[in-house]
Every structure is written in C-alpha cells, then in structure tokens.
Amino acid sequence: MQTRSHITFLLNGRTIEINDVGADDTLLDFLRIDQRLTGSKEGCAEGDCGACTVLVGRLTAVGLVYETVNACIRFLASLDGCHVVTIEYLGGPNGRLSAVQQAMVEHHGSQCGFCTPGIVMSLYALWMQHEQPTVKQVETALQGNLCRCTGYAPIIRAAQEVTNFGTPSAEHLTTERDSVVAALNSLRDGKRVEVAKDDSRAILPADVDDLAAVLETEPTATIVAGSTDVGLWVTKFLKQLSPAVFIGQLDGLKEIAVTEDAVTMGAGVTYTEAQDVIAEHYPHLSNYWDRIAGWQVRNMGTVGGNIANGSPIGDTPPVLIALGASITLRKGANRRVVPLEEFFIAYGKQDRAAGEFVESITIPRVSTGHHAAYKISKRRDEDISSVAVGMTVQVENGMITAAVLAFGGMAATPKRAAAAEAALVGQPWSEATLVAAANKLPEDFQPLTDMRASADYRMKVAQNLFRRFWHETTGDTARLASA
C-alpha cells in the first residue's frame, strides 16, 4: 500500500498541506490558534453548543456536499480531501455579507454575538438546501446551536426571510463549485495517509480492505468514525488516542443497500446519510431520527459508531434491536454476523475482538406488526435519552404472536425486556395486556438515578410508554405533536 505522510485539504480559498498532525489535534484549535481564524468560537468543546460550527464539503456519490460540523470535536486529520468553510469565508471577497448574514443583521438575530458565527453557518447550510425553510426545518437545523441571549425568535424570523436578501445560486460557494470539485478530485490519490506529531499517530486507510489490514497491525488502535463521542475523550477527558485510525472518509463504509428483506448500511453511514432510507422503510423512526443529537452531530456521527461505542444510552441500539437488526464484524478477511442485541455484553464490554471492526448493519424490513420508537429526555432536542425504547409486536387474529421490547437507559447495556415480552406473547392485543406487561418491567430492569433522571421516573415513564403504544396503534392522540 502506498502511503502519504501529510494531509491536504481546502480551507476557505486556500490549499492546506501539513504533515505534523497528531491524532488528537482538533479542527477548532487549528483554525483559532494556527490559522488565527477566530470567527469560530469555543463555547463547550463537546459538540453541544455549536459556536464552532463550520461547513465541511466533501465529494460523495451524489457530488460535492457541504455539511455543518462541530469544529471542536472534529479531528484535523479527518479533513484530508475536504473543503473547510469558516465564517470568515461566507461573505466572499470585498467584505460583502451573504444573504444569511444580512438577514441576521436586519432581524436583530445577534445580541452578544458569540454564538452567532455558528448559527450563521447552520442557517447557511439550511438555506443551501431549502431556500424558504419552514419553522420546523429551521428548528431542526438549529438543534445543535445554543443561543443564550435572543430566545431564538429573531433568529427564526431571519432564517425564514433569507430569501429576501439573495439567492443561493449567487453565493460564491455555488459559483465556485466546479472549481472546488476539481480541486478536491485532484487531492484524491488513493493512498493511505499516515501522519504524526511527536508520538501521536493518525492513520487514514485507503479503503475498507486497507482498514482491515491496518487493524491487523494496529489491533489496539482507536477507531474514529464521526468523533462525536471520541472527540470528547480528548477535549474533556484529555485522553490520547494514538494510534488512531480514521474511517469517516471511507466510501466503502458508506454504502446503503436495500433488498426485498432488509436494509444494509455500511458502518460509516452518518445519521444524516441514513435519514431518508430510515424514513422510507421504517416510518416510525422518522421523528425519532430527528431527535438524535443536533444537526452537526448527525452530520458527523455514524450508526456504526453509535453501536460499536457500546453506550447504554445510545439512541439507535434499542430501536434497531426491536427491528431484529444484526451487525457484520470483520477482522482481516473474516466476517461474522452477530444479532445486535448479543453484541452488548456488559457495561463497557462488547463482542468485538482486538483488530475487529463493525463493517455494516443489517435491518430487516418490516411489513407486518406494530412498531414504535420513543425517546424521553429532559429537553426534547439535542439531549441524551433518559429512556429510549423500540417496540415491535406481531399480532395475528387479535393475539400477540411475537414481541421485542428493547430499552436504552434502563440497564448497563441496551437490553430487551424479557419478562415484559413474555407477558405479551400469547395474550390478546389489548390495553390490559400492555398494562400487564408494563407491570412486569421491574423484573427486567432496576434503572439508575443520575443527573438525567431518577430511577423512579425511568421506570414509571417506561411503563407508561406501553400505554402510549396502545393508544397510538388505535389512532388516539397519545403524545405531543413534537414528541
């Protein structure tokens, strides 16, 4: 395998080529400290406030795509071959303001101004997709941006009226598009990238086979996909990742295949990239998917990472377990398929050997039965679940023939509620049956009290969701329109 010992990417209007890049170096520090581009701010360094939001453009199967990301938890090494666009570049030459910026000024969308560059970047990315966004679209685009001053009302007004100040086609990110595509194409050399600073090493495999090869020689390496969790290991817990293997750039892990029986997606598919196929084939997950983190994190984070990470409070495992999902693990040339629920062994322990990686996730398609996915959190958007649940119940002739109820936030791993499931199977499909099953839940779980929720609340709300499930399948209004 040919290797390259520097990374290269476009930063605004320039090409950057650097070789002393460590595994832990963040994009935000690079921008603010090395490049003195101080428009992007550090508000939290954990991907929650959005003050550091920048656009990252990359070549995909559908062409050049720009997405918002949190520069604070995005590693510099992962930007090889990308176009990074910061607030300083948005207005274009001559100090002109872009339409988004103009709208924010005219609608008084800034007060202290510290969150503003990040908010402008999110609204800009939204506007490139939707010239006249709905309030819902604006709110979704801003899920990852905190503002403490304005109460958001003027920002939402601005976002809806950007179109009065210009059109996306006139923006220089649009007019320069062809030349950016050409430049990014010219950066692709198909080589593995190995860079280091001091003794911190970062490896970007050339393709999936190369990833398998790299992991054979570096079996204890930290695998970094979207870095939406691993980023915090560095920025908050001061861990050193080296050697780190970056996989977010691998096209081979981004494939989505829909067959008659199942949807299979590569482990590198981001939440955003999965959104359409999820909404189409699993409509009960459509709203749920929008409530996973904020937009920037959905643009970075991967379903594979959410699983491989093994967190008991990841949003995707419970709902995927309920759908009977399985994962393919690969080590070298060897692959094995594991039912997702069996992957989670104990807190912090998964069924993944050294040198092995999650290659893909297979989710059976659903044709029959009742399906639900619920997330309970203190704040609706961009919050970690107190309780997450996926429910699948098959009913024949009014009798329950099969049930899978998988919960997150209730135990040390994402876990099925065996006693509650048993209380459903063989019983008539009725509210009484569901309530009886809910009453069994304390046999399945003894949840913890922490800063997100008390054990009592977790149990009570988990039980009440059985009733929501019943009411919704009978067409009753059983939750808020926004839930």
Partner 1 sequence: MKQTVSIRGSAHTDLIHDSAIKHVSGGADYCDDIAEPIGTLHAYFGTAKVAHATINSVDLSAVRAAPGVVGVLTAEDVPGVNDVSPTGRHDEPLFATEKVEFWGQVLFAVVAESRDIARRAVELAKIDYTPLDHVIEADEAVAKGYPHVTPPMTLKRGDVAEGQAAAAHRIQGQMRIGGQDHMYLEGHIAFAMPGEDDDVIVHSSTQHPSEAQHMVAHVLGVPSNAVVVNVRRMGGGFGGKESQMNQFCAVAAMAAKKWQRAVKIRPDRDQDMETTGKRHDFVVDYDVAFDDEGQIQAVDNTFAARCGWTSDLSGPVTDRALFHADNAYFYPHVKLQSRPMKTNTVSNTAFRGFGGPQGVVAAERMMEEIAYKLGKDPLEVRKANFYGDTDRNLTPYHQRVEDNVMPRLVEELEQTSDYQARRKAVLEHNAKGGIIRKGLSLTPVKFGISFTATWYNQAGALVHIYNDGSIMLNHGGTEMGQGLNTKIAQVVAEAFQVDFDTIKITKTTTEKVPNTSATAASSGTDLNGMAALNACEQIKERLVRWACDHFGVEALLVEFAPNQVHVGDKTFTFGEFIKQAYMSRVQLWAAGFYKTPKIHWDREKGQGRPFYYYAYGAAVAEVSVDTLTGEYTVDRADVLHDVGKSLNPVLDKGQVEGAFVQGMGWLTTEELKWDDKGQLRTHAPSTYKIPLAGDVPREFNVNLADWSENRELTIKRSKAVGEPPFMLPICVFEALGMAVASVADYTECPRLDAPATPECVLMAVERLRG
Task: Report the site for partner 1 in 129-148 (rule: CB under 8 A).
Answer: 138-140, 142-143, 145-148
> For residue 193, what are the CA distances in angstroms to 2, 27, 188, 253, 379?
9, 17, 11, 17, 41
Sequence length of the chain is 483
Give the list of residues 6+ apart from residue 39 with CB closer than 8 angstroms, or none.
86, 87, 88, 117
Peptide bond into 219 cis (omega under 30): no
Instruction: Please compute, for residue 5, the number of CA atoms within 13 A of its CA located in the half-sphere on the CB side.
Output: 3
Measured from the CB atom, the residue of 8 and 40 that comes closer to partner 1 is 40
Q: Is 113 in the site for partner 1 (CB under 8 A)?
A: yes
Residues in 307-336 that interact with partner 1 by CB under 8 A: none
Q: Is 257 in the site for partner 1 (CB under 8 A)?
A: no
Binding to partner 1 by CB under 8 A, coded x per residue (else -) over 266-305, reads ----------------------------------------
**Residue from 74, 371, 416, 452 binding partner 1 (CB under 8 A):** 452
Residues in 32-71 that interact with partner 1 by CB under 8 A: 32, 36-46, 48-49, 51
**Residue from 62, 259, 451, 475 binding partner 1 (CB under 8 A):** 451
Secondary structure class of 38 (helix, strand, coil): coil
Q: What are the strands, taking DSSP E only, across 316-423? A: 326-331, 334-339, 344-346, 349-350, 357-364, 370-376, 387-396, 399-408, 415-416
Measured from the CB atom, the residue of 10 and 293 that comes closer to partner 1 is 293
Tokens 């969150």 found at: 115
Measured from the CB atom, the residue of 211 and 297 that comes closer to partner 1 is 297
**Residue from 262, 366, 425, 478 binding partner 1 (CB under 8 A):** 478
Q: Long-range contacts made by residues 171-176, C-beta under 8 angstroms, separation at least 24?
A: 171/92, 171/98, 171/99, 171/128, 172/92, 172/93, 173/66, 173/85, 173/90, 173/128, 174/128
Stretches 81-89, 279-287, 314-322, 418-426: which one binds partner 1 (CB under 8 A)? 81-89
Binding to partner 1 by CB under 8 A, coded x per residue (else -) over 349-388, reads ---------------------------x-xxxxxxx-x--
Q: Is 152 in the site for partner 1 (CB under 8 A)?
A: yes
Q: Are 59 and 71 in contact (CB under 8 A)?
A: no
Q: Is 433 in the site for partner 1 (CB under 8 A)?
A: no
Output the smallest distance, CB 37 to partner 1, in A. Answer: 8
